[in-house]
Amino acid sequence: MNAEDTAAVIAAAGRGTRMEAGRNKLLFQLDHQTVIEKTLQPFLKHPRIGWIYLVAAPRDFEALNHLLNRYGLFLVEGGIRRQDSVHAALKRIAECPEQPDYVLIQDGARPFCSNELLDRILIGIIEKGSAIPVVPLADTVRKIHFERCEWVDRRELYAVQTPQGFRFGDLWEASQKALLEDWEVTDDASLLEKCGKGIHPVPGETGNLKITLPEDLEWARWSCSRKGSESSIRTN
């Protein structure tokens, strides 16, 4: 796999209403940079990723424009739903003279993706055609329906993370079909499943947090400050 064989799509067009902050959570500061800049770093540094498409809402274009020249990104206007935003990026890629063999789809609000996780996903795409990172559930799980509360065996339940990786042609075909048939899904892997293709899990990382709530941002800042302190101790 060469660098020019892989593109990454960073989905950053959401409103982040659960942050209750009045502006895009991805523009908050985290470890001396914004959340979105920190999310971009592992993709920018990985030797196998050749192009990065940042999908954002027009209201945030001015705040994000400086990243285009600095990092060589392609800025894409997002849609109403996340899957609409991803489709817009895939369409932009499909219009290029040459398409990548593989594509990674990442949440803009996951700033702690590691290089090792990217490696596992890329290997998974090559070997299986798709790869999604998963982590086992740690808490007891119950299904609640009105007044009925049932214990659920968590041993076969996993939380799904991003980035998710696919053959570009497979995901583009599935995304076009979803648009035509008005599918609504919560992640990109579900599109391929609805087309009858298998989805292959790889180990995710518990630290690969998605920043959704104010307390998530506080945890992320604490985590960054702790890592900074540990690094300072090692170099002294």
Closest residue by Cα to residue 111 from 74, 163, 187: 163
Give the per-residue pLDDT at 228: 63
Q: For the chain, which domains are there? A: 3-132+160-235 (3.90.550.10)
Helix (H) or strand (E) holding 170: helix 168-181
Q: For the chain, which ranges sit under pLDDT 50? A: 231-233, 236
pLDDT tens profile 104-148 = 999 999 999 999 999 999 999 999 999 999 999 999 999 998 889
| Cα three-residue angle 90-82-4, rounded to 5 degrees | 30
pLDDT of residue 194: 95
How are beta strands 6-12 and 51-56 bridged, if at all? parallel
The whole-number pLDDT of residue 232 equals 45
- What does pTM read for this prediction? 0.91
The pLDDT score that the predictor gives to residue 128 is 96
Which residues neighbour 57 within 8 Å (Cβ) at sequence distance 6 or greater? Answer: 13, 14, 15, 24, 77, 78
Mean pLDDT of the chain: 91
Cα separation, 11 vs 105, whole angstroms: 7
Q: Is 132 helix (H, G, I), strand (E, B) or coil?
A: strand
